Structure 1
Amino acid sequence: MRETPQDFELQITFEKREYSNDTLLDMYLKMLKPRLIEEKMLLLLRQGKISKWFSGIGQEAVSVGVTAAMDMSEYILPMHRNLGVFTTRNIPLYRLFAQWQGKKSGFTKGRDRSFHFGSQEYKIVGMISHLGPQMGVACGIALGHKLQKKRDVTAVFTGDGGTSEGDFHEAMNIASVWKLPVLFCVENNGYGLSTPTDQQYNCKHIADRGIGYGMESHIIDGNNVLEVYHQVKRIADSVRYNPRPVLIEFKTFRVRGHEEASGTKYVPEELISHWESKDPLMNYRQFLIDQGILSIGEDVKKKAIIKTEIDTHWRRANEEEAIVPDMEGELNDVFMGYKETIDLPGVTSGKELRFIDAVSQALFQGMEKFETLVLMGQDIAAYGGVFKITEGFVATFGEDRVRNTPICESAVISAGYGVAVTGGKSVVEMQFADFVSSGFNPIVNLLAKSHYRWGQCADVVIRMPCGAGVGAGPFHSQTNESWFVTTPGLKVVYPAFPVDAKGLLLSAIEDPNPVLYFEHKALYRNIRQEVPEEYYLTPIGKAAVLSEGNAVTIISYGAGVHWVLEVLASNPEIAADVIDLRTLQPLDEETIYASVRKTAKVIILQEDSLFGGIASEISAKITENCFQYLDAPVKRVGSLDTPIPFDLELEKQYLPQKRFEKELFSLLQF
């Protein structure tokens, strides 16, 4: 029968080694502070003065030991039970207390709770509740440092339960393949909420998983602060000069509930008693007393000083006024503001390019301008990508910046965010837009909410080769923009012409916010246009009016724009305003409304299935804002509400291309 954390007998033997008495005493005080804070918080919780608490009592040695072993300039990505990370980084306590109370002087302006925050000042990147993505973020931070030639180590925490998530395994694989200086710190504390470890994994030790990834791994007594500090410091020093990932399993135990409301009834009392006897703080305190480094009287004085500090900072946070809601401020913080630095709207001379060439040229010029920009995707390096868009890039920019990735969309997207944390930029290619479903979580929960939550930009572009018309079937043909336009914090662009393909992609790269860039595969080699050779920007959020007329407003984007133009070319008598949206989020409402007020009739064409698509939202907005100008109901045309079929005839039936002309004439006759 395999060994589990609860029957792993800890022999807590403290070794002074070369450490001075001051260092040994300091380690005690670093553990004492979070313990006393927790005792205060548990009291306040019972009094109803805070809403929730995730206790790390009994696990302080891991948080403190790891953080103390790191340089202050190195990033740490903690979890919700790692209070010792924050206190060891010397964050003012009133700011922590304000964060937990939802006050303005916290780190998220009341927008998130507990430890769901980060701070560039203290080099801490906080978690999201989905746990796993922060592993990939750590990889991205390490990659950013590696590209900047820094010898920094990044430490990221997870629990035994978190190691069951796919993101953990994806991140481990990426870190190993790319030799990234990441310390994967697993607090094996016996339970994932109420699920014991023998129902979480079936290997003897979590550290054994390192073998499968070709990764060095260690098991450390997580209740022995000196052992944690010494071993992590030794490993970190080694990793700084020989960059590589290391998996570290800390054997410890959670003696309180997952959060206080859940209790610990599912844990045998003798098991809790066993681990309480191995309390990292009390055992270390006794060691210091036995060594003559700490007296009982001095201990009482130290506790009194810390308690006074806690009470003083608590009063400061408690006396701070509650946040007054400010709608304008809330809306403005969804995206990070920035100013486009280059715009050449009048440039018309250039060279005829296919749509695909315009995308490639934009990427190349973006790489030339931004030395911190890194491209990541499957097969994009020497092979040039499945569509050959990055062919030849490696010869110019090298494999460090044009990176083949393993097949792990979630961790790669998270890594892109990590690169942004270090001040870099990334463009991540989904080989096909359909595959983004495997990376959905970090896009909608990490990238989209980052700036709103703690002011950190998510300078990531996700390239999305999409669309039907090429007989590729259900898993390579979707145009899935509707998955993302409803998520605040994401920008979504969808060009129809080579000029816009280049300008919008360069704007997306310049923009510090997360941008999903849809590029229709059927347009790649079929649409040509004269494209300026210079570096220029097409503004995100501004639609293009392709033709003007008084009879009807036609709104579309992507391949749909070309279907519209084909119909109008066959019916020159139709005087239509044709609006190419170009950007779906943010939407150019003013251009739409101005046209509708003029024509009084509107039809919206999308390639996506009709129900729940962008056409529905635009229709609702027009009805709400232009109802008095309408002479007919707003008409929507989209694909069938079925998956996309493979057979070309079935695909033609699925697509709205033929139905559009019929619906347009029906509207004109209304």
Structure 2
Amino acid sequence: MTFDRKDKDNVTLLNFYLQLLYPRMVEEKMLILLRQGRIGKWFSGIGQEAIAVGSTMAMKSEEYILPMHRNLGVFTSRNVPLTRLMAQWQGKLSGFTKGRDRSFHFGTQEHKIIGMISHLGPQMALADGIALGDLIASKEKATLVFTGEGATSEGDFHEAINVAAVWNLPVIFLIENNGYGLSTPVNEQYKCKNLVDRAIGYGIEGLQVDGNNILAVYDLIDSVATRMRENPRPVLIECLTFRMRGHEEASGTKYVPHELLEEWAKKDPILNFEQYLLEQDILTPDAVAEIKANLKMEIEQEVEAAFNEPEPLAKEEEELKDMYFPYTSDPVSPEGPVKELRYLDAISDGLRIAMQKHTNLVLMGQDIAEYGGAFKITEGFVQEFGKARVRNTPICESAIVGAGLGLSINGFKAVVEMQFADFVSCGFNQIVNNLAKTHYRWGEKADVVVRMPTGAGTGAGPFHSQSNEAWFTKTPGLKVVYPAFPADAKGLLLAAIEDPNPVMYFEHKYLYRSLTGPVPEGFYTMEIGKANVLRQGQQLCIITYGLGVHWALDYLDENPDISATLVDLRSLQPWDKETVSAAVKNTGRALILHEDTLSCGFGAELAAWISEHCFKYLDAPVMRCASSDTAIPMNKALEDGFLAKSRLKHTLNQLLAY
């Protein structure tokens, strides 16, 4: 291995050695603890330290790095205390996740490190969002994100690099090619000769480096980052290295040919660099021994300090509270005149006011700029707010939701538009595993609203008509709103944007142009989680939301002999238990109406809760009126037969006759 020191002095080279040696010695201690049974799991990066250390030292301390679970050197090079890291690995309260997650599945704003989740690829899109924030704010910064050769097969890898390429984002995508994805060798992972060749397909620069040579890694990252700060655009870098231990220690390395391990052992990044420094008279054998002895003592002390910390105690109230970023909703009452607006225009008005109020708010979605979106809700926005903040996106829902989270991490707000709610399935992982869990895991807000044009009634068929709110109401960490009227649509959207937590905002497509109502001008918000009682009655209560509200209103208008309390939930997570309970107690009969399918729709949760908490007030079973347990058909007659509206009369009569 050849080292080129360039203009680095002896002190700098010695610092490189210390930074390189420290994570190796920490790892060796972890392996001892593992054999002693004092820890249960470890993902070893032995043999790969030069990549994490060299690249981290090349980045500025205020620039974000998004590492993987074999990148201990990122954390140690950013001076994260080992005691706290050890507490994190042991699930102690002083760890970054308070015992809620393990390994490097956390972030720290103090050190500008954003950790991964187990799905490997999603953090790449977060890097896009972080870099986008720097670009919009005209900050000359680069962002570094790690991935492994196995994760390059994931769609998130393609989506994130494609977005970065199209938007000229200053992101260094660093592939650690260590030969194996668990036990699967690279020849079974991809067909191309070099992973860096994929850069050609994205129209970006691709570079390859010896990942075991710390000076080569440092010099390359330093050069790329320096150019990137002045001329933002992404670069793909492949670092060639080898995983000397198993995927994690329990898996072992029996699947690796012995001669391959011997070959790469000769390329050990620490031994080779140490030998180089000895040859250059920068180190002496005695100095090496002294350095190692001092580091060993320091590591022993910090590790034991973490072991001596008490185990966390389960406190349900605190666990529930920490699912969300602390935020007290203080609804702003509307002031000034009221005007008649379509449901669609009320949403547009709310978005425009939010964009005017929050200069750090970014809108992202397919065709939302010059075209104005599939439903023209953002028409004219790009002329008013510019393309930096009103961004057309490639067709890649996962990357855009992830970019929204990255923007939030970097101090922005984001509204992501799904062209149709159905398409959210392509971004599902980012929503339920990143947006929803981020605050619970490491205390960081996820200030993202996902707009969801939803519902049937237009004959659009199985892929443009689904009511999929139940996918998200059962996911802790998300808030879900579903307005039925123009005024609510505006007030709840503004409330969702004000809230620093992730909010799924469902807006019914059928109502866009068919429903008009009075909407206050100017800024106002409504409380998320507060229902609205539209009618008071004595015979029964109807609990519904979205288009179901209008089905119920129409039916009650056509049947004035029925005395019903009508509750519009407006929010599904959290939902207004107090109002629902009062309606059930006052009427003794409850009908739950929604557009979603019957089985496991949100109505099932409502029915279970009412049966559990209001049973003694019931004069009849809780009944549900929902759509058929089929996909949504396109033909209008079939669609009408599918929808819950076709069963409303029968279900109501059945409940009243009980």
TM-score, L = length of structure 1: 0.98
Q: Does 1:516 align with 2:504?
A: yes
CA distance in 2, matches of 1:569, 1:452: 46
1:36-62 Cα shifts (integer Å, max 9, x gaps): 000000000111111100000000000
CA distance in 2, matches of 1:463, 1:100: 37
Please, which moves more after superposition, 464-473 or 319-328? 319-328
SS in 1 for 2:474: coil
Deviation at 1:342, TM superposition (A): 5.5
Q: Does 1:432 align with 2:424?
A: no
Q: Which residue of 1 aligns with 2:436?
A: 448
Whether the 8 Å CA contact 1:349–1:530 is kept in 2: the answer is no
SS in 2 for 1:376: strand
Deviation at 1:348, TM superposition (A): 7.6
Q: Which residue of 2 aligns with 1:404?
A: 392
1:382-406 Cα shifts (integer Å, max 9, x gaps): 0000100000000100000000000
1:506-564 Cα shifts (integer Å, max 9, x gaps): 00101111000000000001111110011000110111100111111101100000000
Change (3 A) 1:592 1:609: same
Letter of the 2:536 partner, please give it: E
SS in 2 for 1:499: helix
Whether the 8 Å CA contact 2:124–2:145 is kept in 1: the answer is yes
Choose from 168, 180, 187 the match for 1:179.
168
Choose from 378, 382, 386 the match for 2:366.
378
CA distance in 2, matches of 1:41, 1:58: 15
CA distance in 2, matches of 1:311, 1:577: 67
Q: Does 1:608 align with 2:579?
A: no
Q: Which residue of 2 aligns with 1:7?
A: none
SS in 1 for 2:146: strand
Deviation at 1:340, TM superposition (A): 3.7
CA distance in 1, matches of 2:328, 2:228: 39
Deviation at 1:316, TM superposition (A): 1.1
1:474-489 paired onto structure 2 within 5 Å: 474-489=462-477
Choose from 293, 296, 301 the match for 2:282.
293
Choose from 286, 291, 295 the match for 1:306.
295
Deviation at 1:658, TM superposition (A): 2.1
Q: Which residue of 2 aligns with 1:113?
A: 102
SS in 1 for 2:517: strand
CA distance in 1, matches of 2:67, 2:189: 21
1:568-583 paired onto structure 2 within 5 Å: 568-583=556-571
1:15-37 Cα shifts (integer Å, max 9, x gaps): 11100101111001101000000
CA distance in 2, matches of 1:607, 1:666: 19
SS in 1 for 2:510: helix
Q: Does 1:556 align with 2:538?
A: no
Q: Does 1:224 align with 2:213?
A: yes
SS in 1 for 2:191: coil
Q: Which residue of 2 aligns with 1:491?
A: 479
1:181-580 paired onto structure 2 within 5 Å: 181-340=170-329, 343-344=332-333, 347=335, 349-580=337-568
Whether the 8 Å CA contact 1:498–1:531 is kept in 2: the answer is yes
SS in 2 for 1:553: strand
Q: Which residue of 1 aligns with 2:585?
A: 597
SS in 1 for 2:169: coil
Deviation at 1:238, TM superposition (A): 0.5
What 5-or-longer segments of structure 2 have no aligned partner? none
CA distance in 1, matches of 2:330, 2:12: 50
Deviation at 1:349, TM superposition (A): 3.6
CA distance in 1, matches of 2:277, 2:365: 53
1:243-280 Cα shifts (integer Å, max 9, x gaps): 00000000000011000000011100000110011000
Letter of the 1:577 partner, please give it: T
Whether the 8 Å CA contact 2:330–2:527 is kept in 1: the answer is no
SS in 1 for 2:239: strand
Deviation at 1:478, TM superposition (A): 0.4
Deviation at 1:157, TM superposition (A): 0.2
CA distance in 2, matches of 1:48, 1:371: 53
1:18-33 paired onto structure 2 within 5 Å: 18-33=7-22
SS in 1 for 2:311: coil
Equivalenced residue count is: 658
Whether the 8 Å CA contact 1:103–1:323 is kept in 2: the answer is yes
Letter of the 1:464 partner, please give it: M
Letter of the 1:291 partner, please give it: Q
1:376-435 Cα shifts (integer Å, max 9, x gaps): 000000000010000000010000000000000001000000000001000000000000
Whether the 8 Å CA contact 1:348–1:531 is kept in 2: the answer is no
Deviation at 1:204, TM superposition (A): 1.1
Q: Which residue of 2 aligns with 1:661?
A: 649
Question: RMSD of the alignment, in Å?
Answer: 0.8
Q: Which residue of 1 aligns with 2:82?
A: 93
Deviation at 1:341, TM superposition (A): 5.6
Runs of 4+ in 1 over 2 A off after TM superposition: 339-342
1:584-604 Cα shifts (integer Å, max 9, x gaps): 001111110111111110000
CA distance in 1, matches of 2:647, 2:379: 38
Letter of the 1:98 partner, please give it: A
TM-score, L = length of structure 2: 0.99
CA distance in 2, matches of 1:132, 1:509: 27
SS in 2 for 1:407: coil
CA distance in 2, matches of 1:279, 1:315: 29
SS in 1 for 2:247: coil
1:294-324 Cα shifts (integer Å, max 9, x gaps): 0010111111111111111112111111111
CA distance in 1, matches of 2:410, 2:516: 38
CA distance in 1, matches of 2:224, 2:14: 23
CA distance in 1, matches of 2:291, 2:39: 26
Letter of the 2:19 partner, please give it: K
Determine what percentage of the aligned residue pairs are the same residue.
60
Q: Does 1:642 align with 2:630?
A: yes
1:47-104 Cα shifts (integer Å, max 9, x gaps): 1111100000000000000000000000000000000000000001100000000001
Whether the 8 Å CA contact 1:112–1:453 is kept in 2: the answer is yes
SS in 1 for 2:370: coil
CA distance in 1, matches of 2:429, 2:379: 30
CA distance in 2, matches of 1:30, 1:116: 22
Q: Which residue of 2 aligns with 1:5?
A: none
Letter of the 1:619 partner, please give it: A
